[in-house]
Structure 1
């Protein structure tokens, strides 16, 4: 039985949507460090010794999602975090009224990096915007909220970097942006999905209320080189 591509999201995206920027050693693939700290492996029993040395500098770490090694080479350490909720949406969502939505590009990069550094600091890098389209809303001359596309595989596209500046919370901006991009994704023939921590009950509840449904719990790991 063929595994579902979303069961191994990093590896699936690096082998399809983002194959053009993937760094590869043997069967192991990763994003450039200034794009995302994500690494994918095809199965847990792969011998990782040589590929990891080639792809991960000394003292660095990478994240894995869904599939992690059963054992790591000497000099490496793996940490398992709490599972994430992987959620999908299969119908269009109501888009509430709000500020105009603009596509974010190079002219907005400084604003995007400032907002993500404030509220989404762990996974957004200087070149993350190369992974897909990003959209946002400006209020009072500031980027108040944003959303983007990150991972993906044929027929699937991840909603990511859904964040709101603390000064603009409680206005429904995340709901408006999530519905907007989810609907565009569905209209383009892809099924939107996202990942959210169970500890973030507010966001998870919002997505569920909007119409996203749990696909599965998915393991989340950090792999560190000594």
Structure 2
């Protein structure tokens, strides 16, 4: 199993765009970002220079949003802060094999035809950034009750050796029934089966989700700070 101190986790966005997500990448110099309708995450490596920030600003355009995920460096002073969110990175510690949960007819794999209802569920539950093509980053699973999508989870960042589980959400009327646990466990088993190690991120304030992930086999690896900025120029 990969080491907890694997350096690819210092720049999971950049390392994903270098590898398994290269088809979604836009680049200029060392700056990289996703195609906008897939994700808003950007990377300037872990030791950015003034030129790297300038390249990212040119890549994104004036007054554009830059979601820096967990970049340890701050951009130049003329970049406008948009948000800051404290969180945790959690790594899988449940062993290198996990039996798949018993299948159920209500668990489905979500495809492009499901995008409208996925976006509708995200708008109700706000699990984090999710765009019209985010589903293309990996496998997304959902739970249906009476034909209605009430819960989902999927794969997002994929640096070498790792797969991030993300967009874990359940409609308010369907909570407390184990849907999120079943989806995360199913995804973790699939990730392990192909030789990757699962990891995820959770907002510091979301103590309920953190407790769930700990019960499922994840442990806190460290604190992370998510920041968003607007590039210099006209808004």
Q: In the alignment, what sits opposite 2:27?
A: 24
Would the alpha carbon gap of residues 175 and 121 (structure 1) be closer, same or farther in structure 2, given more than 3 Å must change? Answer: closer
Q: Which has the larger displacement, 210-219 or 125-134?
A: 210-219
Listed as ranges, the matches of 1:167-182 within 5 Å are 167-182=173-188
Query: How far did residue 144 of structure 1 move?
Result: 1.0
Q: In the alignment, what sits opposite 1:63?
A: 67
Q: Residues of 2 paired with 1:166 and 1:211: CA distance?
A: 24
Q: Residues of 2 paired with 1:46 and 1:79: CA distance?
A: 21
Correspondent of 2:129 among 115, 123, 135: 123
Q: Residues of 2 paired with 1:3 and 1:179: CA distance?
A: 23
Contact between 2:31 and 2:42, CA under 8 Å: does it hold in 1? yes
Q: Does 1:132 align with 2:132?
A: no
Q: Secondary structure at the match of 2:186?
A: helix
Residue by residue over 1:46-80, the C-alpha shift from the partner in whole angstroms, topping out at 9 and shown as x without a partner, is 223531232223332121123243441x6312467
Would the alpha carbon gap of residues 95 and 10 (structure 1) be closer, same or farther in structure 2, given more than 3 Å must change? Answer: same
Q: Residues of 1 paired with 2:57 and 2:88: CA distance?
A: 31
Q: Which runs of 5+ in 1 are unaligned?
A: none
CA RMSD of aligned residues (A): 2.2
Query: How far did residue 121 of structure 1 move?
Result: 6.5
Listed as ranges, the matches of 1:177-196 within 5 Å are 177-196=183-202
| TM-score (norm. length: structure 2) | 0.87
Correspondent of 1:7 among 7, 10, 33: 10
Q: Which has the larger displacement, 153-162 or 47-56?
A: 47-56
Q: Residues of 2 paired with 1:93 and 1:196: CA distance?
A: 24
Would the alpha carbon gap of residues 207 and 49 (structure 1) be closer, same or farther in structure 2, given more than 3 Å must change? Answer: closer
- Aligned length in residues: 224
Q: Residues of 2 paired with 1:121 and 1:219: CA distance?
A: 16
Listed as ranges, the matches of 1:76-225 within 5 Å are 76-78=79-81, 81-90=84-93, 91=95, 92=98, 95=101, 100-120=106-126, 122-225=128-231
